[in-house]
């Protein structure tokens, strides 16, 4: 397989979730075999999003925050200011002839990029079997979730949606849901763990780690 070019980075700033969601689907509908892969970096105003498997009852009380049904995998999560969100608009068939196999590898690569990003700020993250996302692996808040992951992978091998990492945000809305479908699951952000990095700094770190993982050969 020939060398892959790095994805185009799109900085979309702060943008309403519905606008980004519609744009992701339109981009994917229109892409061809020549369309560059892209990573979209965005920060959303407060919103709860439901994955295809989500039970709406996991939103206990939205307190006026919009609740949006999506077509990604996974359960319910919250997006808000102070959270890095990166959407991965990729053509998996460029990366492996069997895109179904690479889909599983892609999840692992995204999770590793988050773990490596946290390590850059002296924070320890880990995976949990059967629970996509990243959780603290040590300290007083061990087990708390700090990053969520949900993808849509079409039969064409084209992907959208992606990953969110809590940097410095109001975590209260997570108390109004069962995050990712788990009652009582604690959530945390980098600021409450002592990391002083700005949102822009963490965006750049996560983008660099995602590109490194996407360009790395083989399984992680």
pLDDT of residue 132: 83
For 135-139, 149-153, 183-187, which range has the lowest pLDDT when averaged over its residues? 183-187
Residues contacting 122, CB < 8 A, separation 6+: 195
CA atoms within 13 A on the CB side of 133: 26
pLDDT, tens digit, 9 for 90 and up, residues 48-57 = 999 998 999 9
pLDDT of residue 13: 98
In this structure, what CATH number is given to the domain that contains residue 179? 3.30.930.10
Residue 179 domain flag: yes
Rounded to an integer, the average pLDDT of 67-92 is 96
> Rounded to a whole number, what is the distance in angstroms from the first to the last CA of the chain?
19
pLDDT at 1 over 70: no
Return the ∠ at Cα 189 (arms to 57 and 152), rounded to 5°: 55
Residue 34 domain flag: yes
Return the number of other C-beta atoms located less than 10 Å from residue 97's C-beta. 11
Q: What is the DSSP letter of 7?
A: P
pLDDT of residue 18: 98
For the chain, the 3-state helix, strand and coil shares in percent, each to the nearest 5, are 30, 30, 40
pLDDT at 96 over 90: no
H-type alpha helices, 70-192: 99-119
pLDDT, tens digit, 9 for 90 and up, residues 139-166 = 999 999 999 999 999 999 999 999 999 9
Question: pTM of the prediction?
Answer: 0.94
Residue 220 domain flag: no
Residues 23 and 17: beta-carbon distance below 8 Å: no
Task: Give how far the C-alpha of residue 33 lies from the chain's centroid of Cα atoms, to the nearest Å.
Answer: 24
Q: What is the DSSP letter of 3?
A: P
User: Residue 206, SS3?
Assistant: helix
In whole numbers, what is the pLDDT of the chain averaged over residues? 92
pLDDT at 3 over 70: no
pLDDT at 58 over 80: yes
Residues 149 and 68: beta-carbon distance below 8 Å: no
- More confident of the two residues 2 and 114: 114
pLDDT of residue 174: 96
Q: Which of 50, 31, 37 is nearest to 9 (CA)?
A: 37
Residue 2 domain flag: no
pLDDT of residue 220: 41
pLDDT of residue 100: 59
pLDDT at 129 over 90: no
pLDDT, tens digit, 9 for 90 and up, residues 196-219 = 999 999 999 999 999 999 988 754
How many domains is the chain built from? Answer: 1
pLDDT at 85 over 80: yes
Residue 3 domain flag: no
Residue 119 domain flag: yes
Residue 121 domain flag: yes
The active-site residue, picked from 23, 50, 54, 180, is 180
- In the residue annotation, 180 being an active-site residue is answered as yes
Residue 70 domain flag: yes
Find the domain containing 149 and state its range. 8-215
Q: Which of 169, 147, 12 is nearest to 89 (CA)?
A: 12
Surface-to-core class of residue 62, CB atoms within 10 Å of its CB (0-12 exposed, 13-18 middle, 19+ buried):
middle
């Amino acid at each position: 397989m020939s060398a892959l070019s790095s994805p185009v980075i799109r900085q979309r700033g702060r943008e309403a979730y519905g606008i980004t969601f519609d744009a992701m689907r339109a981009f994917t509908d229109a892409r061809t075999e020549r369309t560059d892969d892209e990573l979209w970096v965005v920060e959303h105003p407060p919103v709860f999003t439901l994955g295809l498997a989500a039970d709406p009852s996991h939103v206990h009380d939205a307190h006026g925050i919009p609740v949006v049904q999506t077509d990604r995998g996974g359960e319910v999560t919250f997006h808000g200011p102070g959270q890095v969100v990166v959407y991965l608009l990729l053509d998996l068939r460029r990366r492996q002839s069997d895109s179904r196999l690479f889909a599983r590898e892609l999840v692992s690569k995204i999770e590793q990029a988050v773990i490596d990003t946290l390590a850059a700020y002296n924070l320890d993250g880990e995976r949990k079997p059967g629970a996509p996302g990243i959780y603290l692996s040590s300290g007083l808040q061990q087990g708390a979730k700090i990053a969520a992951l949900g993808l849509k992978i079409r039969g064409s091998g084209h992907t959208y949606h992606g990953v969110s990492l809590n940097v410095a945000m109001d975590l209260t809305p997570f108390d109004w849901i069962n995050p990712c479908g788990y009652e009582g699951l604690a959530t945390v952000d980098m600021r409450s763990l002592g990391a002083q990095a700005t949102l822009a700094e963490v965006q750049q770190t996560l983008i660099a780690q995602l590109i490194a993982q996407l360009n790395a050969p083989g399984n992680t």
